[in-house]
Amino acid sequence: MDHRSYARYGTVAQALHWATAILVLVAFIYGPGGSEQRVYAAAGDFDRRLHETLGLCVLTLAVLRVLWRMVDSRPELPQGPRWMGVVAKAVQGALYLLLFALPLTAIAGAWLEGHPLTFLPGLDVPSPLAVSHSAGATIAKIHTWLGDAILWLAGFHALAGIYHHIVLKDGVLASMLPRWAGSRPANRVIQRVHRTGGRPPR
């Protein structure tokens, strides 16, 4: 079947989906990590500001995605086994929760430790909360765990999409891709990568 014939999410839904994915990945890469002293060291000021700015963008996109889902129509996707639908909804729900929990724990952790939120270009938002360093450190640690969790979960989500595309051929992945990405040349590249064990085709 030609993947261009599959029902697709709208342009706005696709844009929000892929923008969120890219921002989460870049925010993870630029996450300062480590001890509080390392996170707030002057040498890591740019990385921290970029990370926190991206986190705010992720939170904004998460709100927009929820609002858009309330008014947008979604395509009718092929019905699969019941367990597969349950797992898909659970993963999707967990990803949405993490999109909110990650930036909110970052904000709470920083403020409770007595640090301002630091954004590009040089905008600082001081803490309105009473300092509770131990609580802030605990929440900051939870934030780190959640950051790892969303990467693992997003990876599983991506692999499931590839499985639907290559094995089931049911259009689930194609529904979140623009029409040009569902063309036959693009599909042949994906299939060649699959046959070569994940190595890019030459």
Q: For the chain, give the percent of residues with pLDDT over 70.
A: 86
pLDDT value, residue 17? 97
pLDDT value, residue 136? 95
The 10s digit of each residue's pLDDT in 26-47 is 999 999 888 888 888 888 899 9
- Residue 6, pLDDT > 80, answer no
pLDDT value, residue 89? 92
Q: Tokens representing 190? A: 């994906």
CB count in 10 Å sphere of residue 172: 20
Instruction: Give the residue-averaged pLDDT of 6-16.
Output: 89
Which domains does the chain show, CATH number per domain?
Answer: 7-173 (1.20.950)
3-class SS at 110?
Answer: helix
DSSP 8-state code for residue 182: G
State pTM to two decimals: 0.83
Question: Under the phi-then-psi rule, with left for phi > 0, alpha for psi from -120 to 50, and beta for the rest, what region is 33?
Answer: left
Burial 99-121 (b: 16+ CB within 10 A, else e): bebbbbbbbbbbbbbebebbbee
Higher pLDDT, 50 or 6: 50
3-class SS at 14?
Answer: helix
- Residue 183, pLDDT > 80, answer no
The 10s digit of each residue's pLDDT in 125-156 is 999 999 999 999 999 999 999 999 999 999 99
Band of pLDDT at residue 188, cut at 50, 70 and 90: very low
**Nearest-5° angle of CA 164, CA 170, CA 174?**
75
Query: Which of these, 48, 19, 51, 29, lies nearest to 151 by C-alpha position?
Result: 29
Residue located via tokens 């900051």: 140
Q: Are strands 117-119 and 123-125 parallel, antiparallel or unpaired?
A: antiparallel
Higher pLDDT, 187 or 85: 85
Higher pLDDT, 81 or 65: 65
Higher pLDDT, 165 or 183: 165
